[in-house]
Structure 1
């Protein structure tokens, strides 16, 4: 078997390293993995995606698809590492692990490890945390002020503190590294103003304003109208509608091209929760479904569930626009790791002291840089240092901690991937019920009258309609019978449409029936199709649903029968070229 390279969790990969690693996996297992680009970001980087399935038994578009993404915020680097770990596990254990072999034989994964490669590169090269996908330097039309930059030449953009008797911060008496808010009545001590490390674009003695990166709006919020206008504090210049960024348009175009998408998982980092929406805009049965999936994910990962009322995240757009359930999974929370389970305010002194102690013990002090005096070309003497959020608040320390979190998130994703619909066959028969003379009267032998009966069922956990949001829009189940040229179909249709099939979970989403002593309900997870055929030869019955896959029953009327999945060859999903794709949503 080919050797798939292991994933290095001793460092967060930059763009070139991530690109090389993706290509190395595709080279090792080309029959399983294909790397392609959704398009180029504003920074000129490719938005890489991996299509993962066993192509030897059918095209990717003929199987239920699972979308997995990470790093939608530039600073959330561990989310991209989790995606790479999933890709590595799928690629390395196919043919070795029965469960993974089953997954890739029957499903297609689309893994996009880094949705914001420009923002991630900015974080990796400077330490500057940005939630959006844009590069540093898009400052046109913004007010003058402080531009983030590396003042002391250490390759990072951290914090600056400037001594000022009217400053808002003071040094903690319990740890001199820590700045805490100034309290009422505080006088006679040393106080500081706190800024992002950087330079003033104009020195005129006026109050210092923050001239931050013009990120328009967070990439995760750039898919819906509900997020409203951007915050002027962050350099806004009026209302910006959805799809203001090239990345969101590329992602939307590709997801709209997939008619086999069944489930989405969006990995994040920093809050340490699995988020599900409680918005009244979400159908109650769909809310119940999301909670079932989130509960299983929480059980596997020990990540708590958080209900959010807003409905304007990328995950919400996937549900509202595509009708596909999408979970936001965030595996890292520094406060919780430091033993502060219920701390909601990161400025609480006892919580920050616990975090510093945890970083000292578990991260060799990385995550907080000791304050060092520095001569600022405009402000005079300042001190540079403070929190390095890229390896503390936003992401876990590399090494064993990162590896452990990724392992948990891999297991979570592979378990959830098993819930997608799966069209299968139950009882099938090809029975001779009589004999008939040929219509032309020339043949010497009588022709068999054959009853072909096929039971089509959904063996998956989710129904073929996935969610109530999609139920009225989704395509029907299709069955088709193919007979020899010299045979005749007497009863039945060559091509038939059927109502969609329920899944294992469908009953439990009806809350009034979700009790152990209910008296039963109508069975809607299977259907039976019958045909009467005159003539001998091979008969092929195919059953297909875009979100449930393709399955076939093949019989020659004797002892030779065969059931197989994905025999039907279909063109692969629409893959965008490197040139711009036509966007689904006009801006």
Structure 2
């Protein structure tokens, strides 16, 4: 795969003039930093700045507003000199579906910036920008993003559509409270000598251990900071939102009693509905990536086991993409969602694949395996007495590499309900979000996988043509039609679901078409399977065109002159060739 070899190619490109300012690192056209997390307003500012810097390639628009009235920005990347958007296969990239899964937005911003910075400098980047279209949505859930970044972060996974979680007729009235005003929703522990469920670890006093069933501890954990705001005897039971933005899509949607957080019907949420309408209006989208947050995984559908796996032809495509992704992304594993993660009904990946016929992945961006990434250190993590084994590794990393920035030490507090307690624990950026100093590699490797995926979307071309006189003014015309990339123009799952318009093979010109058919092997004599359609000048190719395959169409025509043969694939573009019949 050529994109994976970009680092190797750079040296040779420099010698060939492929990289500007030979012998030095080119200056950035738009210098940007990548060591902090941006709130929604700052994301918009950065998008507008990039659009102003590269107006010939970038177009910024809004797909709609979130429930909270924030714009859902979409950046289109296209080179109009090489064709209109709808005539090219497009890659849809989204992030921040869950409000607390923030780093995906920065990956998308980095992707836009990197493509533009290196257009005309790195040949492979230039080629892919010329051949493809990108639709980039940095934040599907801007309400949740701001709630996480600008507040304490607790409960920010959801969106902000009101939900009455405790059934008292009032929505969102009893969430966590930052009782000591330090900006962190901390864990609460209470000292109860001989009557508890936990004890303080001998290895590290910050770690709470569950005692064995036949023992008692001196501590009990009481959840997270908060009080009984609504007087119903419960604490923190009705926070903001309370649903899952990634359970509201149309494929395999299930009601709340089967799939928690799914809401009342598919696409009820304004964010999911707006982006679905955006995608439906752009059927040329052939690939999709939905960046999520934690686990180090490259996930494909299906989200639930009961619908069965994908057809074999589709699995072959997904497996090649996913297994290559495991090489691009160390510490990531390629999994099926329900097997490697958990069951998901009504998720976006299933909708993209099943409802829209789009080959789709979801990358879980941060892997804790990256804390200690040498074979020696990984061995030490398996040794019980090692300072980096088990939970201890996370504390060690925070102490020595982040200088304690991720942890709030336990401290006494007089709680209005629980009395004397201690509060402390990890802050909102710890654990699920990568350390800032490790951002660039995470951004770049994930971008590289997504660009590889985009490069493998269908790319149609016309090949050899031949004309042979059969008798009188009757001629046999053959034309090679090729898909140069891995992904077919119509997946088998999409064909079965009628999710994508059939490809169209059309002829325009001076000749009359008598018969047409696909040649099994043009290099060997044999029968041609006739196409049984009334309009042979407009053949519907319902199964699409397989990946990395050349097929030969044979026409039997009457007359002489010019005939133009055109192959049009919604997700593979439109290509034509002219044939002189004489």
Counterpart check, 1:173 vs 2:202: yes
Q: CA–CA distance in 2 between the matches of 1:72 and 1:240?
A: 19
Q: CA–CA distance in 2 between the matches of 1:225 and 1:382?
A: 47
Q: CA–CA distance in 2 between the matches of 1:550 and 1:352?
A: 55
In the TM superposition, 1:134-213 aligns within 5 A as 134-135=159-160, 139=164, 142=167, 147-165=175-193, 166-187=195-216, 190-202=218-230, 206=233, 208-213=234-239
Q: CA–CA distance in 1 between the matches of 2:453 and 2:57?
A: 20
In the TM superposition, 1:2-17 aligns within 5 A as 4-17=29-42
Counterpart check, 1:322 vs 2:346: no
- Could you tell me which of 274, 289, 296 is aligned with 1:272? 296
The structural deviation recorded for 1:198 is 2.4
The structural deviation recorded for 1:179 is 1.9
Could you report, residue by residue, the CA deviation over 1:22-61 in whole angstroms, capped at 9, with x for unpaired residues?
Answer: 1111111122111111111111111111111112222111
The answer (yes or no) to whether the contact 1:478–1:498 under 8 Å persists in 2 is yes
Counterpart check, 1:94 vs 2:123: no
The structural deviation recorded for 1:15 is 0.4
Could you report, residue by residue, the CA deviation over 1:301-339 in whole angstroms, capped at 9, with x for unpaired residues?
Answer: 121223324352321222221222211211312256356
The structural deviation recorded for 1:155 is 2.4
Could you report, residue by residue, the CA deviation over 1:390-433 in whole angstroms, capped at 9, with x for unpaired residues?
Answer: 4222110112x111111111111111111111110102479999
Q: CA–CA distance in 2 between the matches of 1:379 and 1:38?
A: 47
The structural deviation recorded for 1:490 is 4.7
So what's the TM-score if we normalise by structure 1?
A: 0.76
The structural deviation recorded for 1:158 is 3.0
Q: CA–CA distance in 2 between the matches of 1:429 and 1:181?
A: 77
The structural deviation recorded for 1:176 is 1.3
Q: Secondary structure, in 3 states, of the residue corresponding to 1:147?
A: coil
The structural deviation recorded for 1:539 is 6.9
In the TM superposition, 1:105-124 aligns within 5 A as 105-124=130-149
The answer (yes or no) to whether the contact 2:458–2:484 under 8 Å persists in 1 is yes
Describe the shift of the 1:129–1:91 C-alpha distance in structure 2 as closer, same or farther (beyond 3 A): farther
The answer (yes or no) to whether the contact 1:490–1:534 under 8 Å persists in 2 is no
Counterpart check, 1:352 vs 2:376: no
Counterpart check, 1:222 vs 2:248: yes
Report the equivalent of 1:548.
572
In the TM superposition, 1:262-301 aligns within 5 A as 262-277=286-301, 279=305, 280-285=307-312, 286-301=314-329
Could you report, residue by residue, the CA deviation over 1:144-176 in whole angstroms, capped at 9, with x for unpaired residues?
Answer: 995212222222333333434544333222111
- Which segment is superposed worse, 111-120 or 15-24? 111-120
Q: CA–CA distance in 1 between the matches of 2:267 and 2:431?
A: 28
The structural deviation recorded for 1:136 is 9.0
Q: CA–CA distance in 2 between the matches of 1:6 and 1:320?
A: 40
The structural deviation recorded for 1:457 is 2.1
Report the equivalent of 2:53.
28
Q: Secondary structure, in 3 states, of the residue corresponding to 2:463?
A: strand
Report the equivalent of 1:578.
none
Counterpart check, 1:415 vs 2:439: no
Describe the shift of the 1:298–1:40 C-alpha distance in structure 2 as closer, same or farther (beyond 3 A): same
Q: CA–CA distance in 2 between the matches of 1:384 and 1:147?
A: 17
In the TM superposition, 1:437-456 aligns within 5 A as 454-456=479-481
The answer (yes or no) to whether the contact 2:250–2:355 under 8 Å persists in 1 is no
Could you report, residue by residue, the CA deviation over 1:239-267 in whole angstroms, capped at 9, with x for unpaired residues?
Answer: 73333322121222222222212111121
The structural deviation recorded for 1:140 is 7.3
Q: Secondary structure, in 3 states, of the residue corresponding to 1:96?
A: coil
Q: CA–CA distance in 1 between the matches of 2:263 and 2:150?
A: 31
Highest RCO, 1 vs 2 (Cα 8 Å, sep ≥ 6): 1
The structural deviation recorded for 1:230 is 3.8
Could you report, residue by residue, the CA deviation over 1:275-301 in whole angstroms, capped at 9, with x for unpaired residues?
Answer: 234635233313343222211111111
Report the equivalent of 2:4.
none
Q: CA–CA distance in 2 between the matches of 1:431 and 1:7?
A: 60
Describe the shift of the 1:531–1:117 C-alpha distance in structure 2 as closer, same or farther (beyond 3 A): farther
Counterpart check, 1:63 vs 2:88: yes
Could you report, residue by residue, the CA deviation over 1:482-537 in whole angstroms, capped at 9, with x for unpaired residues?
Answer: 55xxxx445578942252554346xxxxxxxxxxxxxxxxx7634355766656xx
The answer (yes or no) to whether the contact 1:462–1:502 under 8 Å persists in 2 is no
- Could you tell me which of 489, 498, 504 is aligned with 1:478? 504
Counterpart check, 1:367 vs 2:406: yes
Count of residue pairs the alignment pairs up? 511
Describe the shift of the 1:152–1:340 C-alpha distance in structure 2 as closer, same or farther (beyond 3 A): farther
- Name structure 2 gaps, 5 residues minimum: 1-19, 21-26, 383-387, 515-534
Describe the shift of the 1:16–1:128 C-alpha distance in structure 2 as closer, same or farther (beyond 3 A): same
Describe the shift of the 1:9–1:127 C-alpha distance in structure 2 as closer, same or farther (beyond 3 A): farther
Q: Secondary structure, in 3 states, of the residue corresponding to 1:9?
A: coil
The answer (yes or no) to whether the contact 2:297–2:334 under 8 Å persists in 1 is yes
Q: CA–CA distance in 1 between the matches of 2:74 and 2:148?
A: 21
- Could you tell me which of 83, 104, 108 is aligned with 2:108? 83
The answer (yes or no) to whether the contact 2:251–2:351 under 8 Å persists in 1 is no
Describe the shift of the 1:41–1:353 C-alpha distance in structure 2 as closer, same or farther (beyond 3 A): same
